[in-house]
Structure 1
Amino acid sequence: MTPAINQVKKAQIKYRIHKYTHSPTSQSFGEEAAEKLGISPHQVFKTLVVSLDKNKLCVAVLPVSSLLSFKKTAKAAKCKKCTMAEKPLVEKTTGYVAGGISPLGQKKKLPAFIDISAREFSTIYISAGRRGLEIELAPEDLAILAEADFAPLCQ
């Protein structure tokens, strides 16, 4: 079990776990998940950790088919500046390895935002905290569990 799976189990919400064999040569973890699970890349969401003003970190959850807009993410976080956080800091702060970062069960709770496109689906897929493992759940449940707000985050 991962901390993310433990969090959804404890919350007693409706969810499903999906496993697939991760290929070490894969260039995009999220697109690999969509392909191997046979679902639209618009419904599989990646978790990115960004650095905001004054070195604060924040989580952005968006479709693997989209690119993050730093400007929109900064606006959602009520900050002036947004950049990608450094990988070692992200892994240390979240407790997850790159490619398996979940918006749930992180070591240190970070502010989170979910792209508004998630509301187009009854369920979305997010990393369960390990490469090759996804959690399918309702976007509203994810927002509650991650204490996240919905906002436009994509370019």
Structure 2
Amino acid sequence: MTPAINIVKKAKVFYKLHEYQHNPSSSSYGEEAAELLNQDSAQVFKTLLVAVEGDQKKLAVAVVPVSGQLNIKAMAAALKVKKVVMAEVVAAERITGYIAGGISPLGQKRVLPTVIDESANSYESIFMSAGRRGLEIEMSAGDLAILTSARFANISR
């Protein structure tokens, strides 16, 4: 069990786990998940971390579709800050407790400000990392928002 799975079990929300054989040479974890699970890449979401005002100790979480990219300016606006930059992998892993490619928005070591792309509301359920490479969790965007205290905003392009 990962911390992400423990969180959803404890909350008693509806979810499904989807496991696939992760290829270590894969360069895009989200695209790999979408392809191997035979899902639309717009319904599979990736968890990205940004450094608020460039401070690698002050991170926030962006949950965006694999089919798109994070709009940095929109993310800064959603957080009501002047700017954000992508977090360094080492900082993201240290603060979340997960390894890159397996970072889940759920069950991180610290509660971080979280923004989910509003496109998630277009689906009955979305897919995201369950806390390790090769394991995805499917659940409603609304439940994800509640469990992470997230807000929705148009943060992808």
Q: TM-score range by the shorter chain?
A: over 0.9
CA distance in 1, matches of 2:156, 2:137: 22
Report the counterpart of residue 70 of structure 1 in structure 2: 72
Report the counterpart of residue 7 of structure 1 in structure 2: 7
Closer, same or farther: CA 23–121 of 1 in aligned 2, 3 Å: same
8 Å contact kept, 2:106–2:148: yes
Aligned to 2:120, which of 95, 118, 121? 118
Aligned to 2:81, which of 72, 76, 79? 79
Report the counterpart of residue 34 of structure 2 in structure 1: 34
1:3-152 residue pairs with structure 2 within 5 A? 3-53=3-53, 55=55, 56-152=58-154
CA distance in 2, matches of 1:4, 1:27: 23
CA distance in 2, matches of 1:96, 1:105: 9
Gaps of at least 5 residues in structure 1 are none
SS at match of 1:154: coil
SS at match of 2:32: helix
Letter in 1 for 2:122: E
Gaps of at least 5 residues in structure 2 are none
Shift of 1:54: 6.5
CA distance in 2, matches of 1:20, 1:89: 27
CA distance in 1, matches of 2:147, 2:155: 19
Shift of 1:13: 0.4
8 Å contact kept, 2:53–2:85: no
How many corresponding residue pairs?
155
CA distance in 2, matches of 1:109, 1:25: 31
Kindly report the root-mean-square deviation, in angstroms, between the aligned alpha carbons of the 2 structures.
Answer: 0.7
Instruction: Give TM-score, length-normalised by structure 2.
Output: 0.97
